[in-house]
Amino acid sequence: MTKKLILAVAAIPCLGLALPAFADASASAKAIETIKRDFKPRGQADLDRLAEDFVQALCNRTANNPSPENAKRIEADQLAKVKYPADGKLMGDWKKGESLAQSGRGFTWTDNPGLPVGGNCYNCHQISPKEVAFGTVGPSLLQYGKLRGNSPEIQKYTYVKIFNAKAYNACSDMPRFGHVDALKPEQIKDLVALLLDPESPVNK
Partner 1 sequence: MRKLRIIGAACTAAALAATGMAFAQSDGVDHAKADAEFAKFRAEMEDSNPAELFEMKGEELWKAKRGPKNVSLAESCDMGLGIGKLDGAYVKMPRYFADADKVMDAERRIVWCMTEKQGFSFDEIAKRPFASGNYTPDITSLVTFVAGHSRNMKFAVPIKDPKVKEAWEIGKEIAAYRAGPYDFSCNTCHGSDGKRIRMQNLPNLAKPEGAIKGVFGWPGYRMTGGVMLTSQWRMNDCFRQQRFPEPKYASDTVTYLLTYMTATANGQLYKGPGIKR
Of 95 and 148, which has the nearer Cβ to partner 1?
148
Would you say 58 or 193 has its CB closer to partner 1?
Answer: 58
Cβ 45 to partner 1, closest distance in Å? 4
Closest to partner 1 by CB, 41 vs 198, is: 41
Phi and psi based region of residue 64 (left: phi greater than 0; alpha: psi -120 to 50; beta: remaining): left
> Shortest approach of partner 1 to residue 143 CB, angstroms?
5
Q: What is the DSSP string of 95-144?
A: HHHHHHHH----SSTTS-TTSPPP--HHHH---STT------SS---TTH
Q: Shortest approach of partner 1 to residue 100 CB, angstroms? A: 16
CB of 92 to partner 1, least distance (A): 21
| Identity at 157, one-letter amino acid code | Y
